[in-house]
Amino acid sequence: MAKLLVGNWKMNGLKASLAEASLIAASAAAAKSHAIQLAICPPATLLASLSEAVSGTGLLTGAQDCHEKVSGAHTGDISAAMIQDAGGYFVIVGHSERRADHHETSAVVRAKAQAGLDAGLVPIICVGETRAEREAGQAEAIVLGQVDGSVPDTFPAEGLVIAYEPVWAIGTGLVPSAVDVAAMHRAIHQRLVDRFGSAGASVRLLYGGSVNGGNAGELLHLDHVDGALVGGASLTADGFLKILHAIQE
Ligand code: PGA
């Protein structure tokens, strides 16, 4: 399975940021020769222009959320078909910032993932425990519960991605131990195989939360860690490509 490095720009980026994406795109072909796929999920305002700017380079793009409905009276929302129309390949759903800021439950996340699949996108479903949940010894139960509730019943082989992102590791510089990351990824993989068989085994599992050029080498070589979802370090080509170089070695 090719490794997948996805940059999540969150609410960052103006037109000037397209230059960073173009610098990242210039490394996409070399990454591919090392079986590494690169993607950037910019804010919705930049998705069409960024997708056009990097078209043909091998750098994929995606959105950070979608509405669960196809169209209609939902002011301010964006449908999966619009993302596809703007050149997107992925759609991130259920990021912990959306689960927290917009009260998105796993049922809502599942409906959004389904909408993404229906539009031909590859959903990246985010799951992860809070610090309090980990300290209470509940991390695995919480995460597997989110996996159960957020993953639709059917999806094409390799057509779904899950990102394990401990909430306490996002944007904090804190990263779980390699042992803890490996254990969680093994548990998620097993849960998906139990429910979906070989299709479950084809789901790529990303780690996310304070990934940078210094820790990516160790994290991304763990079993069942098929790539990373990167926030802060993806905002500059320099930061993102440091991660690429760390895992290419
Ligand atoms: P971070 O964000 O890399 O800045 O911790 C990761 C994410 O939220 O996807």
127 CB near ligand 1 (under 6 Å): no
Contacts of 53 (CB under 8 A, 6+ apart): 18, 21, 22, 25
pLDDT of residue 233: 98
Amino acid present at 187: A
171 CB near ligand 1 (under 6 Å): yes
Mean pLDDT across the chain: 97
Enzyme catalytic residues: 95, 165
Same domain, residue pair 18 and 80: no
Same domain, residue pair 107 and 224: yes
Residue 243 lies in a domain: no
Q: What is the CATH number of the domain that holds 209?
A: 3.20.20.70
Are 120 and 81 in contact, with CB atoms under 8 Å apart? no
Cα of 144 from ligand 1 centre, angstroms: 20
229 CB near ligand 1 (under 6 Å): yes
Amino acid present at 124: I
45-61 pLDDT, tens per residue?
999 999 999 999 999 99
pLDDT-derived band at 79 (thresholds 50, 70, 90) equals very high
Same domain, residue pair 53 and 76: no
Same domain, residue pair 223 and 117: yes
pLDDT-derived band at 43 (thresholds 50, 70, 90) equals very high
| Atom in ligand 1 nearest the alpha carbon of residue 208 | 6
Q: Is a pLDDT exceeding 90 seen at residue 12?
A: yes
Same domain, residue pair 94 and 172: yes
Query: Among 4, 6, 8, 96, which residue has the most ligand 1 atoms within 8 Å of its CB, making it the best to mutate?
Result: 8
Cα of 65 from ligand 1 centre, angstroms: 15
pLDDT-derived band at 1 (thresholds 50, 70, 90) equals confident
pLDDT of residue 214: 97
Same domain, residue pair 105 and 226: yes
Task: List the domain range (segments joined by +) for residue 18.
Answer: 14-38+48-59
Cα of 124 from ligand 1 centre, angstroms: 14
Same domain, residue pair 91 and 208: yes
Residue 241 lies in a domain: no
Q: Is a pLDDT exceeding 90 seen at residue 36?
A: yes
Are 18 and 40 in contact, with CB atoms under 8 Å apart? no
Distance of alpha carbon 114 from alpha carbon 120, whole angstroms: 10
Distance of alpha carbon 126 from alpha carbon 248, whole angstroms: 25
230 CB near ligand 1 (under 6 Å): yes
Residue 124 lies in a domain: yes
Contacts of 78 (CB under 8 A, 6+ apart): 44, 63, 65, 66, 67
Same domain, residue pair 27 and 139: no
Residue 9 lies in a domain: no
Same domain, residue pair 126 and 29: no
Q: Is a pLDDT exceeding 80 seen at residue 249?
A: no
Q: How many domains does the chain have?
A: 2
Same domain, residue pair 80 and 163: yes
Distance of alpha carbon 84 from alpha carbon 15, whole angstroms: 20
166 CB near ligand 1 (under 6 Å): no
| Atom in ligand 1 nearest the alpha carbon of residue 230 | 3
Mean predicted confidence (pLDDT) in 120-142: 98
> How many CA atoms does the CB half-sphere of 69 hold within 13 Å?
7
177-223 pLDDT, tens per residue?
999 999 999 999 999 999 999 999 999 999 999 999 999 999 999 99
170 CB near ligand 1 (under 6 Å): yes
Contacts of 157 (CB under 8 A, 6+ apart): 198, 199, 202
pLDDT of residue 207: 98
Same domain, residue pair 88 and 166: yes
> What predicted TM-score, i.e. pTM, was given to this entire model?
0.98
Same domain, residue pair 145 and 22: no
